[in-house]
Amino acid sequence: MEALRDAIVNSAHQLYASLPAHGKPVVRSNGTPEWTILSTISLVDCSNPSTESIIPISLGTGVKCLPYTKLSKYGDTLHDCHAEILARRGLMRWLLYQAQLYTRSRSCSDEEGTDETVYLELVNGRFRLKGNLQLWLYISMLPCGDASTFYTSSHQSVEEASQWKEADSRSINQADIHISRGRNGYTALSTLRTKPGRPDSIPSISMSCSDKIASWSILGIQGGLLSNIFEPIYLDGIIVGGLDTPSSVNEVEWREKIKREMERSIWGRLESIKDHIPDPYVLHRPAVHFSSNSFEHSKSTLAKTPTVDSLETSPSPLSISHLPFMPASTTRKGVKPEIIADGGALGHPWKKGKLIKEKGRSRICKLALLGEYERVIANLDPDQNYDLVKSQKTFYDYKHNHASKYQLVKSILRGIPKQGNTLKGLESFDEILSTGIADIPGSSLEYPAPIPPFKGWLVAGKPFESFTASGIIP
């Protein structure tokens, strides 16, 4: 297993190293070096255990997230640009790409078939990965939120901790909503958190990476839109790098403690509902591993670099999304990575009330994914496509199929979105919802179910998903 772990990490670092320098962290004019986080999702073919094949599917870098004031109603903007979230969105694009390869190969003769490998199979109307295939997530440091709370509290400076303690004193009562902003109350465990940001910044409604990864342990990593045509797809393993051991503790014991914290965060918090989840959904428990192979642009690597002076390091304002499976625009240049700033491709920032032009939109934004999704269902059932085009179904219509098991499981996990106080700074933003106790009429499950472990999850709501694949809001 150590060999597989190291091979996955090495392949991630090699893919990153192969990308152009543009978009990567730099040393600023004042001498301040930038850092970022790297994440990849890799496909592992275990058909032959002695020679496991590793294929990096999606790469993301980044530490930025837009505030709620920059939410777009067109699905054209990437709100959360943390590395592991970009990598996951890239995986969704790969699944749709693979589904198109499958339908193309099914409709073509052997002579006309594609040269690309199809890793999916269609069973009872839904796609799934073929047997002996696994998905592994690599992150160059612990995910923000609950999984890194103990680690952060052990490494945080007195000055940093005091900033969040002061913010705690200004927060609303969290007892009823089970959610904290960033590192507010950073010593509390098993708490839903939004993306950190600075204590004085405009709040984001994006939940922490720890919370999102944990939700994938039950809902699957394919998401709500793709759940209509895919079985739930779960991560088989998670590899984390960038761990520093405090000088006063034993390294082996420390890593074991952090591993238990990761496991508690990404699936242990959800044990209370595991017996209430309908098939084919389950509480999946991905293996957790740590890597000592350092990422060149990580914060911890920079801190150990002799050439870095006493100036503080700074997070890079840019993010990268790279999809190596995408067809190259030119044979010579290969697949170009996307450089993302302010929610769109570099040079095409978010603008309130305006749809970003196609060349300025990321290929992993909701609007782009919706277009690819409709292409897949058009190939699966051409007759159905005619009706869908006429009806102009929205992203929300597809995703929120209230008869689906996915939506049922999501309600058990989070509860039902409702109006009410959510987070300090959002009180006047009426379109933001917060989930409450699950109340599911007509459910065949035995109730009362446990209190949703992720009660309080912030939801942008229907107004931000009511767009068609052509970018129209009906």
pLDDT (tens digit per residue) in 320-375:
999 999 987 655 667 899 999 999 999 987 888 889 999 999 999 999 999 999 99
Half-sphere exposure of 331 (CA within 13 A, CB side): 0
DSSP state of 121: E
Q: Residue 325 domain-assigned? A: yes
Q: Are 217 and 286 in contact (CB under 8 A)?
A: yes
Instruction: Specify the pLDDT at position 264.
Output: 95
- pLDDT tens for 220-240 read 999 999 999 999 999 999 999
Helix axes 83-107, 366-380, angle to 10 degrees: 20
Closest listed residue to residue 220, CA positions, set 281, 279, 145: 281
Closest listed residue to residue 141, CA positions, set 132, 152, 131, 133: 152
Tokens at residue 244, please?
């520093």
Which domain does 88 fall in, by range? 2-382
Tokens at residue 367, please?
């609007």
Cα–Cα distance, 405 to 387 (Å, whole number): 24
Sign, CA dihedral 396-398-402-405, equals: negative
Q: H helices within 328-365, ranges in order?
A: none
Cα–Cα distance, 400 to 405 (Å, whole number): 11
Q: H helices within 56-206, ranges in order?
A: 83-107, 149-155, 158-169
Cα dist from 14 to 121, 249, 293, 316, 326, whole Å: 30, 32, 12, 20, 18
Cα–Cα distance, 406 to 413 (Å, whole number): 10
Cβ-in-10-Å burial (0-12, 13-18, 19+) of 407 comes to: middle
Instruction: Specify the pLDDT at position 171.
Output: 39
Name the pTM for this structure: 0.91
Phi, psi at residue 265, to the nearest 5°? -75, -45
Cα–Cα distance, 467 to 473 (Å, whole number): 5
How many residues in total does the chain contain? 474
Cα–Cα distance, 89 to 85 (Å, whole number): 6
Closest listed residue to residue 213, CA positions, set 150, 142, 316, 275: 142
Per-residue pLDDT of the chain (474 residues; tens, 9 = 90+): 789 999 999 999 999 999 999 999 999 988 889 999 999 999 999 888 777 899 999 999 999 999 888 889 999 999 999 999 999 999 999 999 999 999 988 776 554 556 789 999 999 999 999 999 999 999 999 999 999 888 887 766 555 544 444 444 333 343 444 677 766 666 677 788 888 666 667 778 899 999 999 999 999 999 999 999 999 999 999 999 999 888 888 989 999 999 999 999 999 999 999 999 999 999 999 999 999 999 999 988 887 776 655 568 899 999 999 999 998 765 566 789 999 999 999 998 788 888 999 999 999 999 999 999 999 998 887 666 556 656 689 999 999 987 789 999 999 999 888 765 455 656 555 567 777 654 554 454 545 668 899 988 988 888 999 999 999 998
Q: Residue 404 domain-assigned? A: no
Q: H helices within 55-110, ranges in order?
A: 83-107
Q: Residue 441 domain-assigned? A: no
Q: Residue 426 domain-assigned? A: no
Q: Residue 360 domain-assigned? A: yes
Cα dist from 125 to 137, 196, 226, whole Å: 27, 41, 13
Instruction: Specify the pLDDT at position 388.
Output: 60
Q: Residue 237 domain-assigned? A: yes
- Strand 192-193 and strand 179-180: pairing? parallel
- Using DSSP's 3-state secondary structure scheme, residue 200 falls into coil
Q: Residue 267 domain-assigned? A: yes
Cα–Cα distance, 131 to 221 (Å, whole number): 17
Q: Are 46 and 134 in contact (CB under 8 A)?
A: yes
Cα–Cα distance, 102 to 94 (Å, whole number): 12
Cα–Cα distance, 8 to 42 (Å, whole number): 7
Closest listed residue to residue 183, CA positions, set 164, 162, 203, 207: 164
Q: Residue 464 domain-assigned? A: no
Question: Into how many domains does the chain fold?
Answer: 1
Closest listed residue to residue 240, CA positions, set 289, 294, 300, 296: 289
